[in-house]
Amino acid sequence: MSRYFEVGFYDQFFYSKAGEGEWLNAGDQHYMQLALELAARAMGRTNPNPMVGAVVVKDGRVVGRGYHARAGTPHAEIHALREAGELAAGSVLYVTLEPCCHHGRTGPCTDAIIKARVGRVVLAMTDPNPLVAGRGAQRLQEAGIQVTCGVLEEDARRLNEVFIKYITTRLPFVALKTAMSLDGKIATTSGESQWITGQPAREYVHRLRNIYDAILVGVGTVMADDPSLTTRLPEGGGKDPVRIVLDSKARTPVTARVITQASPAPTIIVTAPNAPVENLFRLKEAGARVIEIPGGEGGIDLAALLKELGRREITSLLVEGGAGVNGSFIAGNLVDKVYWFVAPKLIGGAGAPGPVGGPGIAALRDAISLKDIKLNRYGEDICIEGYVLKRSD
């Protein structure tokens, strides 16, 4: 099979590892796979909670299924146990994340599992939330329930990569998306950039917007392209991300579509302390939310911004900036993941911009590398998807 292949948006999270000798048995792997697929149904909808799926199995038959739909609603285990009813007694419960043992927006799932008299619980991973972190599994074991952990753990961690970063650092997971020609240009010498990639690639980007909490661009992009920064799926529906504009001097026009369009998601203009007061007033009057972040290189301290977004429970951020914004995020060691689209086009021109600005590096040994790379094809375009190898890694 070619290395370049079409991939379904949700399919990319699940892949079999049978034959590698990692799992206790094929049955555990099979049922955990079902639980992971259930969890993924709520992708982008559970924040700040994790995505969790659960499957109840009795005598080799699935008798209960459930997944966590959104924060404040019953957890996956509760849905699955309710569906199983009396059949839950003596069953095996497969859960993609360690059950909670504390009171939050809902009660402890461990209590419900014990009350249902489940015989065995199989977990994909422990919960990195400091309030749980092994205590849920311990509570079940103390009640006489057999607990197995680590089945399809890598898949579970990848599925909940946003939650894992947020709950352990209180910072959003940052993904950078860019699109360039084969010769590394994001626009022509005249500034024309729509469109570098084709329709299938752009559709995939809208699916990304549908699952990320927020999308960020610089004011230069707003003034040059007047983007909507909304989610537009071919089948309709979708969730608009919170729109964030880096605009140290509050120059965003009040007539820009990020301000005027009808959308349930707010637009946040991020300004520096010295932004003109009259500009701030106009933006607020037009309905934008304005937050002031201490100045950094280029006018705004991006690390401070991420802390503020985390405080607001924005757990994931999709950066769709130009060369300057991309360069600042990369130089600040702030990017976790990239979606790097390459179109089979040649633009040329020494003055045509590339995807990453800033001063760059002087020595190749300082170049930033990616790990866990995947190559996907969307129409004629290729997307290189990978995780940034941080300087501290």
109 has binding-site annotation: yes
| Mode of pairing for the β-strands spanning 173-181 and 53-58 | unpaired
232 has binding-site annotation: yes
Q: Which two tokens stand for residue 80?
A: 């699955």
- The CA distance from 309 to 325, in Å, is 17
Q: Which of these, 122, 59, 123, 53, lies nearest to 87 by C-alpha position?
A: 59
Residues designated catalytic: 77
23 has binding-site annotation: no
What's the Cα-to-Cα distance from 387 to each of 36, 184, 302, 357, 361, rounded to whole Å? 21, 20, 19, 20, 20
Q: Which two tokens stand for residue 209?
A: 């917007």
Other C-beta atoms lying within 10 Å of the C-beta of residue 243: 27
For 61: left if phi > 0, alpha if psi spans -120 to 50, otherwise beta; the answer is: beta
Rounded to 10 deg, the angle between the 26-40 and 76-84 helix axes is 120
320 has binding-site annotation: yes
- The CA distance from 331 to 361, in Å, is 10
260 has binding-site annotation: no
- The CA distance from 311 to 309, in Å, is 5
Task: Give the burial string for 271-296 (b: 16+ CB within 10 Å, else e).
Answer: bbeebeeebbebbeebebebebbeeb
Q: What share of the chain is helix, strand, coil (3-state, %, to 5)?
A: 30, 20, 50
Locate all alpha helices (DSSP H) within the chain, ordered by sequence.
26-40, 76-84, 109-115, 135-142, 153-159, 161-169, 199-211, 219-225, 257-260, 277-285, 302-311, 323-331
Dihedrals phi, psi of 275, to nearest 5 degrees: -65, 140
229 has binding-site annotation: yes
340 has binding-site annotation: no
| Mode of pairing for the β-strands spanning 173-181 and 316-319 | parallel
CA angle 117, 29, 12 (to 5 degrees): 125
Q: Which of these, 292, 243, 240, 231, lies nearest to 267 by C-alpha position?
A: 243
8 Å CB contact between 140 and 113: yes
381 has binding-site annotation: no
3-class secondary structure, 266: coil
327 has binding-site annotation: yes
383 has binding-site annotation: no
Which residues are known binding-site members for Zn(2+)? Answer: 75, 100, 109
Give the residue numbers of the binding site for NADP(+).
179, 195, 221, 225, 248, 322-328
Question: Residue positions in the annotated binding site for substrate?
Answer: 193, 209, 229, 232, 320
Extract the annotated binding site: 75, 100, 109, 179, 193, 195, 209, 221, 225, 229, 232, 248, 320, 322-328
